[in-house]
Amino acid sequence: MISPEILAIVMFLTTLGLLLFGFPVAFTLAGTALLFGFLGDALEIFNFRMLGFFPQRIFGTMINEPLVAVPLFIFMGIMLEKTKIAAGLLHSIGELFGTTKGGLGIGVVIVGMLLAASTGIVGATVVTMGMLSLPSMMKAGYDQKIATGTICAAGTLGQIIPPSIVLVLLATILQGANEEAAMLVGNLAPDPVTAIDLFAGAILPGLMLVVLFIIFIFIYARINPLSCPPVETTKSRTEIYIEAAKSVVPPITLIVLVLGSILFGIATPTESASVGAVGAAIIALLKGELNFKNIKETALGTVKLSSFVFVILIGASMFSLVFRGFGGDEMIEHFLGTLPGGLYAALILVMIVIFLLGFFLDYIEIIFVIVPLVGPILIANGADPLWLGILISLNLQTSFLTPPFGFSLFFLRGVAPSSIKTRNMYRGVIPFIGIQVLAILIVGFYPEIATWLPNKMF
């Protein structure tokens, strides 16, 4: 007789296998769950009537107000992409830092940070910087490895620096995990986990990561000066400063409006996302880019990306329901709860699993499938949900760089000239993957980096 726990493990492994073969994520999650639900019912180890709760889960997703911020932030990011704001930033910031060794690479990291805080869409950032800054870096004599590695790494900053769609989705999942953990330990009134908390908690780790990238490029340029040569310019420093100031005003204004309104309690993330969407449209209007073509492309892009996110969320909900029906959540709870070494042993194991899954799976799949299964037991064993969320988001950011399916590598490969060798791109991101693992370890050993600012502000 097959036990329900064995069937839960087989269902999980079958789902991962189908995802690795490239089957559509949402339909794989829901279809596999439905198939194993029928199988479990036939074997009399699963009550198929449990699926009657599924419509309630969908309805719960539909009325979840924080998730409304997702399409609004996507709209803001795509609209800003249409305004050519990145082109002005890359040009002026590149000239500002480019006259020193490694300066152009440092400029790319700073632009990546500003675009991350303005758009939060990794694909758009990597593609834009790949099209605009990669030719400039190659023309300046930059080594292919450091140039492509810097662009890929800087483009992923939108995963951790708010307003990040990852943080909005993580906040929703962690809130549910936090409530389940509270039930496990008998806490009837747990502190909520909101996107505002994660936004505030991600600021210092995000800035730390930017500083680590810059330090690496600075040191690398001193060790290998021919790989990161300075760029000559005919403009005076005054002209460069003026152009740089003009180019950073629009994104800085939008960052202050969106993040400022959230962090100072003026607006919820959903409300501030609407402010950001309107602000992006105003910037496009001022730059003469607000036309019917751009509005149509932005609206269509927003619908496609938002649909992608929410269909996966619904499919993951079905998967989670059947997995729990087999007792899979209790099995994971028992396994992680009995590991020698307590919380840190369980946390390290989960971080390693997420890191390895990041080689093959998309961050949305990991958030919706893995986090609901491991989050409750980690929080019940003493992990601060805010700290846990930041660790997971840093880990998920690394998944954009890890071969063979690192999406930043795919995005850059799509716009890079054929003279840029793929193996150099893979070699170029390795030091930045190491830096991100270092950032995870730092935040892991010093949770205050993630929790200090939210505790002070709220």
Query: pLDDT tens across 380-409, in order?
Result: 888 899 999 999 999 988 888 887 667 788
CB neighbourhood size of 430 (10 A): 14
The highest-confidence range among 125-134, 246-255, 446-455, by mean pLDDT, is 446-455
Which residue, 234, 235, 228, 232, is CA-closest to 138? 228
Split at pLDDT 50, 70, 90, the class of 437 is very high
Give domain status of residue 427, yes or no.
yes
Number of domains in the chain: 1
- Please report the pLDDT score of residue 188 as a whole number: 67
**pLDDT over threshold 80, residue 98:** no
Whether 169 contacts 309, CB under 8 Å: yes
Q: Kindly report each contact of residues 444-450 with a partner whose C-beta sits within 8 Å and lies 24 or more positions away, as own/partner.
A: 444/347, 444/351, 444/391, 447/384, 447/387, 449/204, 449/205, 449/208, 450/201, 450/202, 450/204, 450/205, 450/384, 450/386, 450/387, 450/390, 450/391
Rounded distance, CA 301 to CA 293, Å?
12
CB neighbourhood size of 220 (10 A): 21
- Please report the pLDDT score of residue 120 as a whole number: 64
Give domain status of residue 6, yes or no.
no
**pLDDT over threshold 90, residue 205:** yes
Give domain status of residue 2, yes or no.
no
More confident residue, 88 or 326: 326
Angle (CA) 373 375 378, round 5°: 120
% of residues, the chain, pLDDT over 90: 15
Give domain status of residue 1, yes or no.
no
The predicted-structure confidence for 215-245, as pLDDT tens digits, reads as follows 999 999 999 888 888 877 777 878 888 888 8
Split at pLDDT 50, 70, 90, the class of 315 is confident
Give domain status of residue 3, yes or no.
no
- Please report the pLDDT score of residue 122 as a whole number: 65
**pLDDT over threshold 90, residue 213:** yes
The predicted-structure confidence for 103-158, as pLDDT tens digits, reads as follows 888 988 988 888 887 766 666 678 777 887 888 888 888 889 999 999 989 888 88
- Please report the pLDDT score of residue 336 as a whole number: 79
Q: Comparing 186-195, 270-279, 367-376, 438-447, which segment has the lowest mean pLDDT?
A: 186-195
pTM of the model: 0.83
Cβ neighbours for 13, distance < 8 A, ≥ 6 positions apart: none
CB neighbourhood size of 171 (10 A): 24
- Please report the pLDDT score of residue 129 as a whole number: 78
Phi, psi of 294 (to 5 degrees): -70, -40
Taking the CA atoms of residue 258, residue 93, residue 130 and residue 309 in that order, the dihedral angle to the nearest 10 degrees is -10
- Please report the pLDDT score of residue 99 as a whole number: 76
More confident residue, 273 or 22: 273
Give domain status of residue 61, yes or no.
yes
Q: Structure tokens of 149?
A: 């590695």
Give me the amino acid identity at 177. A
- Please report the pLDDT score of residue 434 as a whole number: 94
Domain range holding 248? 11-457
Rounded distance, CA 316 to CA 239, Å?
53
**pLDDT over threshold 70, residue 246:** yes
Give the residue-averaged pLDDT of 296-325: 85
- Please report the pLDDT score of residue 119 as a whole number: 67
- Please report the pLDDT score of residue 186 as a whole number: 75
**pLDDT over threshold 90, residue 436:** yes
Rounded distance, CA 146 to CA 228, Å?
8
Rounded distance, CA 345 to CA 343, Å?
6
Give domain status of residue 152, yes or no.
yes
Rounded distance, CA 154 to CA 89, Å?
14
Q: Structure tokens of 51?
A: 């699926």
The predicted-structure confidence for 316-368, as pLDDT tens digits, reads as follows 888 888 888 888 878 877 787 777 878 888 899 999 988 888 877 777 778 88
Give the residue-averaged pLDDT of 247-275: 83
Instruction: Kindly list the distances between the CA atom of residue 125 and the CA atoms of 91, 159, 239, 252, in Å, as whole numbers in the listed order.
Output: 15, 11, 26, 16
Give the residue-averaged pLDDT of 150-174: 86
Give domain status of residue 141, yes or no.
yes
